[in-house]
Structure 1
Amino acid sequence: MLRINLFDNQGRLTLTDHYDLLLIGAGHAHLGVLRRWALVDRPPGRIALISPGPAAWYSGMLPGLLAGRHSAADCQVELPALCRAAKVELIISPVEGLSAAQQQVQLSDGRSLNADWLSLNVGAQIGLPPQRGEGMQLLAVKPFDTFFAGWQRWQAAPQPMAILGGGAAGVELALALAGKVPHVALFSAGHLLDGLSPGVRLRALGHLRQHAVEVREDCPISRIENDCLLSGNEPVWRGQRLLLASGAKAFAWPTHSGLGCDERGFVLIAPTLQSYTHPTIFAVGDCASLPGARKSGVYAVRQGPVLAANLNAALRGLALKRYRPQPQSLALLATGDGGALLDWHGYSADGQLYGRWKDYLDKGFIQRHRF
């Protein structure tokens, strides 16, 4: 173990550990990398995974958890066992900053870590509307552990609730929570489920109507004034609880790291999944920007095998592979009653059969990463 003495910007002595590879974040792609290394010999060198907590939540099962169909333990991958199987160190601490030029990671516990190679799979956060006053409580769906703890507190005294976000997450959450609170209102900045087929959108609207969910499309929320949501200057909803499930927003620290990022702050990557500006740094999943790759767990999972092969090649000095985003992806949206909506190549359907299929795929993902 190489330990280097450094001084921080306040003149305090720090200790920096050196690694051959640091995996930053326990997202879907990194879980796939660790699973592959647990089953097949991992590449040489000192490798560690940095995670803010000891478990990785699987986002696809969150609606089922809130609907009472899954337990919290069903929806998590325990990282200590997976890392032991992959012969990878586990470092539990949030990341506070990154210097791309120095290949150095700053942790919130004060430690600094250096590595020859870095891989980012840290996801994204939820954007918050401007808020004035304290009349409305806000709860974002990410990070999942914070969200679930907040939801348990809310559930102890149910109140009417608004959900901000007309994508798959917002629709699934609205259907999961309908009937568990006195009233649910769902706000979408554009058309509901924009990007999916018209058929699945109509089916989703039908389910929401059956569950008495108030749906407001083409109604972007501009700000929050005390207990009121405003679209432009028009009040559109009053209440004390707002659930945030809107589009992904980049974390600030990758932008400040010196990495080349797009206009929204996501790391620009090449088809090899390497940063365009710093090729010794890989980035995948929601924190990365690559044409054709949507910010969806389905795409992150597909990046996993290519990332594993390329990290192995990088540590061994071999040629890298190219990742090609799939032109179409299967979408299965939970309807809260054990069923699901299906969208595939413009074909839509719904029912209990598709819910059982979704459960099979979700539980299979969890089981594949348990050791």
Structure 2
Amino acid sequence: MSTHYDLLLIGAGHAHLGVLRRWALVERPPGRIALLSPGPVAWYSGMLPGLLAGRHRAEDCQVELLALCRAAKVELIIAPVESLSAAQQQVQVADGRTFSARWLSLNVGAGIRTPAQQGSAMQLLAVKPFDDFLQGWQRWQAQPEPMAILGGGAAAVELALAVADKVPQLALFCAGHLLDGLTPGLRLRALGHLRQRRVQVREDCPISHINDDCLFSGTEPVWRGTRLLLASGAAAWPWLAHSGLGCDEQGFVLVAPTLQSYTQPSLFAVGDCASLPGARKSGVYAVRQGPVLAFNLQAALRGQPLKAYRPQRHTLALLATGDGGALLDWHGHSAGGQFYGRWKDFLDRGFIRRHRL
């Protein structure tokens, strides 16, 4: 079978799921289209803390891609990306196959930043990719030990609250203030929950490197142990920097408001792998990019004008507290409690239900 497509969707991130759902329900653009995904399911990151806390099952947090692709009349190719050539509009996968297309769309997310490490006494476990993380977490849970989490954002806080009762001791290290950029009231509420769960929080403590079983902040040893969970911010996949695409200093694809690459207009990039002023590395922004991306991909295949995506100025944040509740941040206001946890569960389950069609 030919490996050339009119459009190749690379990655099964939140935006591409929205594109496929829209095409399944409304109208699919003309041409031969395929989705390239490293696995047969797409994980919904918002439900991961609930999964670790024992409140969700793994299947509750997944979207089966084959059914969604069939409904959208899109081929499904299961293989991890090895390399991308922007000039040739071609992607190579791990088993050596290559696929090309007139139009490409990237929604591949990002990895996790990792500090320099000397020695192998400390085990590192990154929260992405989710399949690898869950396998590693199951191994760790077979014999719980003291653990540290590296990261100061919402994901790190949610993970700390989800697993605090599952390990003998837990420390959380963040380079700046906890939940920097969110409402001060939310930060205070989160610190209160972390204290109640006996999580040791170290703010303004950037981890510079790991030496055997010790974390260092500059020249100061700050924690000793053998297990470190990484939730420390997005790191671009190395193959993006070698693709020939224009990238920012961190290796993320520079895109215009139409979500097209500045250097390769026949390629779109959305979600965490893209760099666009005003759009943070958050699933909330990727979901909102989905309708604009669906419109622009259809317009591109039909030779019609594209429209611009404008990042929303205010976003709703709901952080799971590990006990069925959640913390809310909205437009400078914060709140917390079981009501917000039920609201978060309703929104999360709704996302999965919509994409299961």
Give the TM interval when normalised to the shorter protein: over 0.9
Query: How far apart in 2 are the matches of 1:20 and 1:82?
Result: 19
1:232 and 2:212 correspond: no
1:107 and 2:70 correspond: no
Deviations 1:278-334 (A, max 9, x none): 000000000000000000000000000000000000001111011000011000000
1:246 and 2:226 correspond: no
Aligned residue pair count: 357
* 1:249-260 mapped onto 2 (5 Å cutoff): 249-260=235-246
Query: How far apart in 2 are the matches of 1:179 and 1:220?
Result: 25
* 1:266-281 mapped onto 2 (5 Å cutoff): 266-281=252-267
Query: How far apart in 2 are the matches of 1:223 and 1:264?
Result: 19
Query: How far apart in 2 are the matches of 1:283 and 1:116?
Result: 15
Q: 1:32 offset after TM fit, Å?
A: 0.2
Q: Secondary structure at the match of 2:124?
A: strand
1:35 and 2:21 correspond: yes
Deviations 1:340-367 (A, max 9, x none): 0000001000000000000000000000
Q: 1:41 offset after TM fit, Å?
A: 2.0
Give TM-score scaled by structure 2 length: 0.99
Match of 2:180 in 1: 194
Query: How far apart in 1 are the matches of 2:164 and 2:248?
Result: 37
Q: 1:252 offset after TM fit, Å?
A: 1.1
Q: Percent identity?
A: 80
Match of 2:342 in 1: 356
Deviations 1:127-165 (A, max 9, x none): 111111111110000000100111011111111100000
Match of 2:154 in 1: 168
Give, as a single letter, the amino acid of the residue that structure 2 aligns with 1:215: V
Q: Secondary structure at the match of 2:19?
A: helix
Match of 2:5 in 1: 19
Query: How far apart in 2 are the matches of 1:257 and 1:322?
Result: 25
Q: Secondary structure at the match of 2:114?
A: coil
Query: How far apart in 2 are the matches of 1:306 and 1:41?
Result: 14
1:47 and 2:33 correspond: yes
Query: How far apart in 1 are the matches of 2:267 and 2:177?
Result: 37
Query: How far apart in 1 are the matches of 2:93 and 2:192?
Result: 47
Q: 1:40 offset after TM fit, Å?
A: 1.3
Give, as a single letter, the amino acid of the residue that structure 2 aligns with 1:80: L
Query: How far apart in 2 are the matches of 1:166 and 1:102?
Result: 40
Query: How far apart in 2 are the matches of 1:359 and 1:369?
Result: 16
Deviations 1:71-127 (A, max 9, x none): 000000010110011100000000011110110111111111110000000000001
Query: How far apart in 2 are the matches of 1:170 and 1:40?
Result: 38
Q: 1:221 offset after TM fit, Å?
A: 0.5
Unaligned runs of 5+ in 1: 4-16
Give, as a single letter, the amino acid of the residue that structure 2 aligns with 1:75: C
Give, as a single letter, the amino acid of the residue that structure 1 aligns with 2:204: D
Query: How far apart in 2 are the matches of 1:80 and 1:219?
Result: 44
Match of 1:204 in 2: 190
Give, as a single letter, the amino acid of the residue that structure 2 aligns with 1:369: H
1:122 and 2:108 correspond: yes
Query: How far apart in 2 are the matches of 1:127 and 1:167?
Result: 13
Match of 2:290 in 1: 304
Q: Secondary structure at the match of 1:291?
A: coil
Query: How far apart in 2 are the matches of 1:214 and 1:49?
Result: 43
Query: How far apart in 2 are the matches of 1:259 and 1:148?
Result: 32
Q: 1:255 offset after TM fit, Å?
A: 1.4
Unaligned runs of 5+ in 2: none
Match of 1:223 in 2: 209
Query: How far apart in 2 are the matches of 1:302 and 1:323?
Result: 9
Query: How far apart in 1 are the matches of 2:118 and 2:91?
Result: 35
Give, as a single letter, the amino acid of the residue that structure 1 aligns with 2:107: N
Task: Kindly report structure 1 stretches of 4+ aligned residues shifted beyond 4 Å.
Answer: none
Aligned with residue 149 of structure 1, among 129, 132, 135: 135
Match of 1:182 in 2: 168
Q: Secondary structure at the match of 1:332?
A: strand
Match of 2:324 in 1: 338
Give, as a single letter, the amino acid of the residue that structure 1 aligns with 2:198: A
Q: Secondary structure at the match of 1:369?
A: helix
Q: Secondary structure at the match of 2:24?
A: helix
Give, as a single letter, the amino acid of the residue that structure 2 aligns with 1:97: S
Q: 1:254 offset after TM fit, Å?
A: 1.4
Q: Secondary structure at the match of 2:125?
A: strand
1:61 and 2:44 correspond: no
1:262 and 2:262 correspond: no
